[in-house]
Amino acid sequence: MGIESTADDFSVGVSTFDGEILANAIDAYVPPEGGIHPREAARHHADVASKVLREAFTKSGIRPKSLSVLAFSQGPGLGPCLRTGATVARALASYLGIPLVGVNHCIAHIEIGKLRAGAKNPVTLYVSGGNTMVAAFESGRYRVFGETLDIALGNCLDVFARESGLRQKVGMPFGAVIEKLALGGKKLIPLPYSVKGMDVSLSGLLTASVALLKKGDCRLEDLCYSLQETAFSMVTEVTERALAHTGKEELLLTGGVAANRRLQSMIRAVAEEHGVKFETVETQFAVDNGAMIAWTGALAYNHGVVTPVEKSFVRLRWRPEEVEVPWAE
Amino acid sequence: MGRVSSPVLIKKGAEANLYLADWHGRRAVMKKRLRKEYRPWKLDEQIRKYRTVHEPQLMHEAKRAGVPTPMIFLVDVKNTTIIMEYIDGKQVKQLLSAISEGERQRLCFRIGQLIARLHECGLIHGDLTTSNMIVGLGGRVFFVDFGLGDRSGEVEARGVDLHLMKRALESTHYEFAGTCFESVLAGYGSVLGAGAVKSVLDKVREIERRGRYVAERKQEESSV
């Protein structure tokens, strides 16, 4: 079983050691207004924890006593949210007398992506509300080849949407709202394009987009279109650079923003140009989810990794390079 | 461009194709930035033209700063193509793992000095990786690929430049990334002084702490 609670989602997944996903229950916190307040989100997680746990047990048909290991996302993420998930995990593991495995959230995204897409050794573009990185496996670890120098891609889109007075709802997050509006965009408005090495910087793009919005001379559809085209071109360019640099033969797109069809088409075009396989993940496994924690926990546990309770403190800035990955080839 | 004959593709990069060609009897590299189908035509053209114009300018300025770069023979903005001198030598990327520890540290020290010279003159390379440095046959270290470069004297821009160097070492030469980066910094400091190293290193740390979870960062800052 895996418990995920790094940001706005509280999720519990159940996986077998062969990678069959038996349950993936998710309850997302939707703030009444504004962004995610870490403590508000943590309170939500505490409120829904027992409900989501029960749902995962019911769906999987697994009784608590048959669990062999309990995995939880140990970081990186929002402190109060991580602590809530870790507390649930510790309590349940000690009650059942089974070992804990602390899982790195970013690595879990890559592992579930590989599992669901049937990928072996891809370059992964992982784009979400909290993370934007290009990573690939080299000599025992996932190395980050490129990432954002400031804000995450999803965060950039979310803040712009909020500034525009747009509303999100369950099943229609800000990213999807912008994607829909962008389809009505006709004019490409010049916006700052900032690629530095294999890194991107998105804060200037966000500031410029919001400034144009407040000025009121541009259609919202055109702005959404231009923001998407510019931001996605930037991450696609660095992904292509990492692909050329590593010479890998698969390209995996995952994270919450992976649901965007325009981004998918750009990444697919790069994969085709380089003659590599393009892979992406179903939305329920691309967004933050418990199944990815369960599966990565199973992989780690199979290779002798366990996390003693005294070492199960949450790690807010835990980088993927810090984790040895004995299970990947 | 009529004087270019028998171009042979030597590298298909992410951004441009490099051809080895004969230009007026000299061995030359032809760098052609290619249309990227994934991005809108207008944006694509802007980016390619901008980089085709700026790269030779920055290479020229780098020379004046005392950093060896290939000589530019021709710039063809319409075809987003640059023709430049071919540097016979080896990429630092290939060399680093093939030389002794002492040579490695000396090379990294030299690289640090060259980065400092660029920064001293307000130039930012923008893509400092070991693939973009060539040790010529005479032992001179050439910097290439200024396509993502910029002019800036800000500590922020210098910090990003060194951060990229550090990450390139970590992701490609993890076995000795730590000592190599220390030598780069030592070389950097030998030109710009210890104070400059400190301020730019503080910036590198700040950059590393950025990104990933904005809310968390604000929270931390307010609680510190």
| Domain annotation covers residue A329 | no
> A100-158, pLDDT tens digit by residue?
999 999 999 999 999 999 999 999 999 999 999 999 998 899 999 999 999 999 999 99
Residues in CB range of A82: below 8 A, 6 or more apart: A5, A6, A73, A74, A75, A314, A316
Q: Return the residue matching tokens 């070991």.
A: B130
Q: Which residues of A touch B160 (CB under 8 A)?
A: 149, 196, 199
Q: Is the pLDDT of residue B216 over 50?
A: no
Q: Which CATH number belongs to the domain containing residue A188 in this structure?
A: 3.30.420.40
From CA B67, how far away is CA A149, in angstroms rounded? 27
Percent of chain B topping pLDDT 70: 92
Domains and CATH numbers, chain B: 4-85 (3.30.200.20), 89-209 (1.10.510.10)
Q: Is the pLDDT of residue B211 over 90?
A: no
**For chains A and B, what is the number of CB pairs under 8 angstroms?**
113
Q: Return the residue matching tokens 């630092």.
A: B92
User: Based on the domain organization, do A301 and A280 belong to the same domain?
Assistant: no
| Domain annotation covers residue A61 | yes
Q: Beta-carbon neighbour count of residue A158 at 10 Å?
A: 24
User: Based on the domain organization, do A297 and A193 belong to the same domain?
Assistant: no
Which pLDDT value is given to residue B175?
86
User: Based on the domain organization, do A309 and A243 belong to the same domain?
Assistant: no
Specify the pairing of strand A141-147 against strand A195-196: unpaired
From CA B149, how far away is CA A181, in angstroms rounded? 34
Q: Which residues of B touch A316 (CB under 8 A)?
A: 213, 216
Number of domains in chain A: 2
> B75-130, pLDDT tens digit by residue?
999 999 999 999 999 999 999 999 999 999 999 999 999 999 999 999 999 999 99
Beta strands in A218-319, from DSSP E residues, in sequence order: 250-254, 277-280
Across the interface, of A79, A199, A266, the residue whose CB is closest to B38 is A266
Active-site residue flag, B127 = yes
User: Based on the domain organization, do A276 and A138 belong to the same domain?
Assistant: yes
The tokens for B48 are 């390619």
Helices (H) and strands (E) in chain B, counts: 7, 10
The tokens for A179 are 């994607």
Q: Is the pLDDT of residue B2 over 70?
A: no
Stated as kind and residue range, the H or E segment containing A222 is helix A220-246
Cis, peptide link before residue B68, omega less than 30° from 0: no
Residue B40 in contact with partner chain A when CB distance is under 8 A: yes
From CA B69, how far away is CA B93, in angstroms rounded? 17
